[in-house]
Structure 1
Amino acid sequence: MKKLLISLCLISSAHADFALRDGDTVAFLGDSITAARGYTKVVEHYTLMRYPDRKVRFINAGVGGDTATKCLERLEKDVFAKGATVVTVAFGINDIGWGTKADDEHKKLYLDGIRTIIERCREKKVRPIICSPAITAEVPDTAEKGYLQTMTDEGLALAKSLGAETVDLQRGMREVQRRVVEHNANAKDDDQVRMHVKDGIHLDDLGQIAMGYAMLKGLGAPEDVSSATIDFESSKGEGENCAISDVKTAGKELQFTRLDRGLPLNFGPFTLLQYRWVSLTDGLNRYTLSVKNLPEGEYEILANGRSLGKSSAESLAKGLNIASMTGNGWYPGGPWDAQSGVVKELVDARDKLSESERLQVMNLEQDGQVDPLIREMHEQQDTLVELQRHAAKPVPYHFSIKPAATP
């Protein structure tokens, strides 16, 4: 036990560079793409899984049709009054009217809006993170030199000159878009992949995941979750951002316990198909296991009795990323995968409740039941946040690696 505690102390300062800190309340300020509540939930879900010891709360402050200038009317009500300590700012598409107002006059309005947002955030001691907007369906190479990217590049440069943090979502998303375009060039009509709905502006599920991924990388999300290395011959193990204990061998079978500092992000079985386009596995989810000096052969890997599938001794020696590994593609693999599925549902539930509150205040504020109902919603929000953190909390996983049964 003493050894286990020491190991956990050594990893307590890991991932210090991620921009969202313990105690932060994060407001996502933006237009209809933010109001769609897609990428915002990806960031929330990730933060819960990877940093379960950080108490971070999230506010969606997106409004359809909004701009960097128009949003100034609601900064106090939608951001500052709600206790935000961090605000991400993603505008640009409506600022140039989807390209119909791409001129110097509207660029100046956009830049003035960015400057004012930063100044007001400083007055309130809120950390602004200025972002470029989501990509459109425009051809990537053309969009790279287009007015929207050029204008928001100036906005990012202005923000940096004023000491604000920045995230270039457009270029981050464009990496995904290029892979999609390359695939579609040779794909049949029924195998075409899209990141946008028909208008070429608003994002579908893949587009929102790509935006969430770009936002997380811009916030400093690391590639590595944790890694465990076990030596079969010596029955010793070591971990990075995890603690290894109770290593035992018997014949060709190996058992040990792993306790992680944080866990990988998983969205469920079907979203694994999106990993072809969004590099979640290597970009955010490096949750690895290496076993050295195993006798040759094929082995089954189990965690808390759940099968992750089979692997050769050679592959195990090189190291496997087991973040989404499963013995059955219809079901979660390791218990961390199942935990992430539970957390995702709780993130969706909290988001739905938050949206219900927004609609109640916006449309029924004259109703005499608003105030008590809002108070009840706030209490339920607190309950859901605690449930999220409890569901995301790492627990010891018991691993068993044993020779695979002969078919």
Structure 2
Amino acid sequence: MLRSLLCWSLVLAWSAVAMAQEAAVPVLKTPVSKLDLVDGDSIVFLGDSITHQCLYTQYVEDYFYTRFPKMRLKIHNAGVGGARAWDALARFDKDVAEYKPKYVTILLGMNDGTYRPFDQPTFDTYKKDMTELLGKLQGIGATPILMTPTMFDSRADRARPNNKRDPLSQAEYNSTLAYYGTWLREVAVENGHGYVDMWGPLNNLTLEQRKVEPAFTLIRDAVHPDAPGQLVMAVSIITDMDLPRSVSGISINLNAKNEKQRAKGTGGVIEGLSQTEDGVEFTFAAESLPWVMPEEARLGAQLTKLGHRLSSERLTVHGLPAGQYELSIDGQSVDTYAHTALAAHIELQENDKTPQYQQALAIAMLNKQRNDGPVKALRGEWGRFQGFARTRRDAEANPTDTGKQEQLAKQTESMKGMEDRVAKANADAKLIEDEIFTKNQPLVRKYVLKRSAGK
């Protein structure tokens, strides 16, 4: 009996140890790999002056307007020039939480590092404030998407007229930002947040271009990416968050015996296929439009191969007699192609003669108007609030400083009416977006391939 009790005691002890060890194994979280979006969802782009530029955010909006024309998202730019993580905390309730976001992208760190070689106390401040910010986001049920600081272009900085930055800071600050970004990646992985690499693509593309053009830069002032660089950033968001990469595919096989095999479409519906004496014609109702951007950003599209990778419109036609064929869409001549090229497939997404390209371009230009006008006006209001919040912090820390108290009084006066001005800017932006959604709906297009005379 004693031996049996001893055996049972050992079994129970071993079981308890095993259970304790099992309980001690941490639950590993999976970082967000894809945005799960439905109509009405809200996304906030939180950041500093690089977000305040209203460019990468604008291009991502263009993507959503054209790729998901039936889904209306609520997208809010919450960037302010000069912002650090502390500043984002100061305006969090009204500039972030009030928009009830499902996702919040965070692009902060460029200013937090203070444009100097890595300094541990400076990083610790950034880490503390970012950790608090992430806690507040989780507190409102939002999913953070951490984005690395962008590139600091030391070569471009050295080339600036009257540049006074010290050489060591120029040489090392890009590495400082890389460190900040690496920490953000670890935080994202360990906590199940989203993660977007901005630093890598900007640096890698710059390196490749400098192999043939040593003075090449995407960031002429060393800090703020120009429009092509901002498009590189938008591409990083779309790819890292695994958003849909193709617009449509049309495949016609005139040799197929089965009617269903003669016409296959992805991203839309083919109807009315008819083989004529000198070609073929059909209609195609696409579900989306190509991702088109203003002229100033198109170098970024070339560098990233955006059209082929993220906006492809493929057309394949097998079984045409040998010859050259003119393609027209809705009566608009697009180009002439050999039957062999059509059999291999052609891509239309960057052909500015197609009606769908022109429709998408009109959307991009409307959204540019929206961002250059009311959205930037809105961000200007929050820029003034940032100055006020910093002054208030300094005045509270120095209650006997008369100068700071007087400055606070003046800035407090300037804040009067801000809520009304913010509401007006939001309303004006919505009016333009309402117009966008009347013009971004894909139309049924008539495609005609006709053999060119004598070819």
How would you bin the TM-score normalised by the shorter chain? 0.7 to 0.9
Distance in 2 (alpha carbons) for counterparts of 1:75 and 1:374:
15
**Alignment equivalent of 2:218, drawn from 180, 189, 195:** 195
**What is the match of residue 112 of structure 2?**
95
Give the aligned length.
377
1:27 deviation in Å?
1.3
**In the TM superposition, what is the alpha-carbon distance from 1:214 to its structure 2 partner?**
1.4
The Cα shift of 1:383 comes to: 2.6
CA distance in 1, matches of 2:80, 2:173: 26
2:189 is matched with which residue?
Answer: 160
Structure 1 position 67 matched with structure 2 position 84: yes
**Which residue does the alignment assign to 1:390?**
438
Counterparts of 1:69 and 1:45, CA distance in 2? 30
Most deviating of 63-72 and 294-303: 63-72
In 1, the alpha carbon distance for the partners of 2:341 and 2:140 equals: 53
Q: Deviations over 1:299-326 (max 9, x none)?
A: 111111222211111111111111012x
Contact map agreement 1:118 1:159 (CA 8 A) in 2: no
TM-score by length of 2: 0.76
Is the aligned partner of 1:213 residue 2:227? no
- What residue in structure 2 maps to residue 248 of structure 1? 274
How far apart are 1:250 and its partner, in Å? 0.9
Could you tell me which residue of structure 1 aligns to residue 448 of structure 2? 400
Q: Show the counterpart of 1:40.
A: 57
For the structure 1 residues 208 and 52, does the alpha-carbon distance in structure 2 shift closer, same or farther, using more than 3 Å as the test? same
Partner of 2:207: 178
C-alpha displacement of 1:401: 0.7
Give the counterpart of 1:118 among 125, 128, 134: 134
Note closer, same or farther for the CA distance 1:259–1:403 as it changes in structure 2 (3 Å cut).
Answer: same
Q: Kindly report which structure 2 residues correspond to 1:300-339, keeping only aligned pairs within 5 A, or say none.
A: 300-325=326-351, 332-339=352-359
Gaps of 5+ in 1: 1-15, 186-191, 326-331
Please tell me whether residue 24 in structure 1 is matched to residue 41 in structure 2.
Answer: yes
Q: For residue 152 of structure 2, what is the aligned residue in structure 1?
A: 136
Counterparts of 1:223-262 in structure 2, within 5 Å, are 223-234=245-256, 236-262=262-288
Q: Residues 66 and 272 of structure 1: is their aligned pair in 2 closer, same or farther, counting only changes over 3 Å?
A: closer
Deviation at 1:159, TM superposition (A): 2.4
Whole-Å Cα distance in 1 between the matches of residues 297 and 381 of structure 2? Answer: 32
Unaligned runs of 5+ in 2: 1-32, 156-170, 386-410
How far apart in 1 are the matches of 2:357 and 2:313? Answer: 11
Could you tell me how far apart the structure 2 residues matched to 1:19 and 1:385 are?
22
Does the 8 Å contact 1:222/1:283 carry over to 2? no
Using the alignment, how far apart are the partners of 1:137 and 1:367 within structure 2?
A: 36
CA-CA distance at 1:50 after TM superposition: 0.6
Match of 2:374 in 1: 353
Tell me by how many angstroms 1:19 deviates: 4.7
Q: Which residue of 2 aligns with 1:78?
A: 95
Hey, which of these two has a bigger chunk of helix by percent? 2
Label 1:168 to 1:232 Cα distance change in 2 as closer, same or farther (>3 A).
same
Q: Which protein has the larger Cα radius of gyration, Structure 1 or Structure 2? A: 2
Shift in Å, 1:406: 5.4
- Distance between the aligned counterparts of 1:205 and 1:145, measured in 2? 20
Looking at structure 1, the residues matched to 438 and 339 of structure 2 have their Cα atoms a distance apart, in angstroms, of 35
1:316 counterpart SS class: helix
Aligned equivalents of 1:94 and 1:200: distance in 2? 13
Encode CA deviations 1:45-103: one digit per residue, 9 max, x unaligned. 011101112111221111112122332111112111233332100112111112x1521
Q: In structure 2, give the amino acid aligned to 1:179.
A: E
- Give, in angstroms, the shift of residue 125 of structure 1: 1.0
Return closer, same or farther for 1:334/1:268 CA change in 2, 3 Å cut-off: farther
Identity across the alignment (%):
22
Give the C-alpha shift of residue 43 in structure 1.
0.4
Q: Is 1:179–1:277's contact at 8 Å kept on the other side of the alignment? A: no
Asked whether the 8 Å contact 1:223–1:284 carries over to 2, the reply is yes
Residues 202 and 218, structure 2, Cα contact 8 Å, conserved in 1: no
Q: Partners in 1 of 2:184 and 2:381 — Cα distance?
A: 35
Tell me: CA distance 1:81–1:196, structure 2 relative to 1, closer, same or farther (3 Å).
same
Pair 395,70 (structure 1): closer, same or farther in 2 beyond 3 Å:
same
CA deviation after TM superposition for structure 1 residue 128, in Å: 1.1
Query: Which stretch shows the higher mean deviation, 352-361 or 41-50?
Result: 352-361
